[in-house]
Amino acid sequence: MWENLEIGLEKASQEQLKEKPSQDGLGFGAHFTDHMFLMKWDRERGWHDAKICPYHKFMLDPAAMVFHYGQAIFEGMKAYKGNKEQVYLFRPQDNIERMNVSALRLCMPRLPVEKVFKGLKALVYLDRDWIPTVPGATLYIRPTMIAVEPALGVRPSGQYYFFIIMCPVGSYYPEGFGPTKIYVTDKYARAVKGGVGDVKTSGNYAASIMAAQEAHQAGYTQVLWLDACEHKYVEEVGTSNIFFMINDELVTPPLGGSILPGITRDSVIQLARKWGLKVVEKPITIDEVIESSSNGTLSEAFGTGTAAVISPVGEFCYQNQTYVINGGQTGTLSQRLFDELQAIQSGQLEDPFKWMTRVG
Ligand SMILES: *Cc1c(COP(=O)(O)O)cnc(C)c1O
């Protein structure tokens, strides 16, 4: 299927093929498949040398600009196996388009969408035996672009690598779908309007690690981020978007420049609207969340993202006070969204929005 793609194919030799890990206890991001996609860019040639090749190490100059100035962007998506061995991707073109938005913001070259899409499908098909079949386990796909020109000085690099690597990952919920405890920080900020919080660039995650570590030390799974200016408006939870069910409205913060436009977020909005729910994108303050929690109108809260799909929030801590949501249990809407999205993604349910791309 990779003829006429202008994409080279260099298959791993028998000796290069790796032993596949056991499907129980896969964890996240620990094992990588046999092949990768790699493509290079420079000012003279543009994108060139696109190929699918054995997974391998890079030799980079210590002066490669990514190491110093962090010009790096990435994506996260998944491949799923249906019950007849069909292989699916969930909204893959949206990931490629979003990566181009990130590239523009970081002054990196625009990806050739069709070529990347074809390369992605061919790579997933070639390594399809790596897609786990145990319930909830999937193949996580990580497209990445980095600046590799060996030069110091803050300016756009003149050379880039774009690559796609893939890893089989276990179920996000090995002990069953259940709520998390989150820590609301008013000490750290993730993103600010005018910054890069609305694109998937590596620096955002480097900047978030300390807050996450302190939350873990305090016994919480994730950080709930507030806006950087007033520490008042709710923005995101960990590396997920956030939703609140208050009275009969499903509320999520609007995409105002500091929030990552999640594809799962958009899918939840479309699905909930199709079910007749009222979905409102509007600013929501942490005080409103607390008030609705205290007066009983907040029935559910959950995060959305590719890794966990839906992540219900059972408890949050803000300024040394803890608040329990829905008795610390998974809410009915969270459960319904999780079940429905998972069923669509694994090809078990009809796909009314044409979200799925069949690879093989
Ligand atoms: C990737 C990401 C999300 C979720 O996006 P999806 O497309 O749903 O996976 C949300 N917030 C941040 C900060 C992210 O990096």
CA 164/CA 123 separation, integer angstroms: 9
The answer to whether 340 and 349 have CB atoms below 8 angstroms apart is yes
pTM of the model: 0.96
Q: Is 29 left (phi over 0), alpha (psi -120 to 50) or beta?
A: left
CA angle 270, 78, 206 (to 5 degrees): 95
* Residue 78 in contact with ligand 1 by CB distance below 6 A: no
* Residue 241 in contact with ligand 1 by CB distance below 6 A: yes
Same domain? For 126 and 252 the reply is: no
Same domain? For 153 and 256 the reply is: no
pLDDT in tens, 201-223: 999 999 999 999 999 999 999 99
The alpha carbon of 202 and the centre of ligand 1 are apart by a number of angstroms equal to: 12
CATH no. for residue 327?
Answer: 3.20.10.10
pLDDT in tens, 275-318: 999 999 999 999 999 999 999 999 999 999 999 999 999 999 99
Is 352 a member of any domain?
A: no
Domain final residue, candidates 170, 188, 203:
170
The answer to whether 200 and 98 have CB atoms below 8 angstroms apart is yes
Same domain? For 145 and 23 the reply is: yes
Closest CA to 300 of 341, 227, 242: 242
pLDDT in tens, 184-199: 999 999 999 999 999 9
Under DSSP, is residue 141 helix (H, G, I), strand (E, B) or coil? strand
The answer to whether 182 and 203 have CB atoms below 8 angstroms apart is no
Residue 243 belongs to what domain range?
A: 180-345
* Residue 98 in contact with ligand 1 by CB distance below 6 A: no
pLDDT in tens, 340-357: 999 999 888 999 999 999
Nearest CA to ligand 1 atom 13: 239
CA 12/CA 104 separation, integer angstroms: 34
Same domain? For 70 and 202 the reply is: no
Nearest CA to ligand 1 atom 12: 239
CA 338/CA 357 separation, integer angstroms: 20
Q: pLDDT at position 1, please?
A: 46
Q: What is the mean pLDDT of residues 123-136?
A: 94
Same domain? For 166 and 185 the reply is: no
Q: pLDDT at position 5, please?
A: 55
| Domains in the chain, number | 2
CA 211/CA 195 separation, integer angstroms: 19
Same domain? For 162 and 193 the reply is: no
CA distances from 231 to 186, 227, 290, 303, 318 (A): 6, 5, 14, 19, 12
* Residue 263 in contact with ligand 1 by CB distance below 6 A: yes
pLDDT at residue 244 greater than cutoff 50: yes
**43-51: long-range pairs with CB below 8 Å, 24+:** 43/158, 43/159, 46/109, 47/109, 47/111, 47/112, 47/115, 47/162, 49/8, 50/5, 50/6, 50/7, 50/8, 50/115, 50/119, 51/7, 51/8, 51/9, 51/10
Nearest CA to ligand 1 atom 15: 239
The alpha carbon of 306 and the centre of ligand 1 are apart by a number of angstroms equal to: 7
Domain final residue, candidates 111, 136, 170:
170
Domain final residue, candidates 105, 135, 170:
170
The alpha carbon of 240 and the centre of ligand 1 are apart by a number of angstroms equal to: 5
CA distances from 12 to 16, 55, 59, 259 (A): 5, 8, 19, 40
Per-residue DSSP letter, 223: E
Q: Please report the beta strands in the chain, taking only residues with DSSP state E, as ranges in sequence order.
A: 8-9, 35-42, 46-54, 72-74, 77-81, 87-90, 138-147, 159-169, 180-185, 222-226, 234-237, 240-246, 249-252, 278-281, 298-305, 309-318, 321-324, 356-358
Under DSSP, is residue 213 helix (H, G, I), strand (E, B) or coil? helix
- The pick from 260, 309, 337 for probing ligand 1's pocket by mutation, whose C-beta has the most ligand atoms within 8 angstroms, reads 260
Same domain? For 62 and 41 the reply is: yes
Nearest CA to ligand 1 atom 10: 240
Is 359 a member of any domain?
A: no
* Residue 102 in contact with ligand 1 by CB distance below 6 A: no
Closest ligand 1 atom, residue 263 Cα: 7
Residue with token string 């979200």: 355
Q: Which residues contact 319 (CB under 8 A, 6 or more apart)?
A: 184, 186
Is 17 a member of any domain?
A: yes
pLDDT in tens, 40-97: 999 999 999 999 999 999 999 999 999 999 999 999 999 999 888 899 999 999 999 9
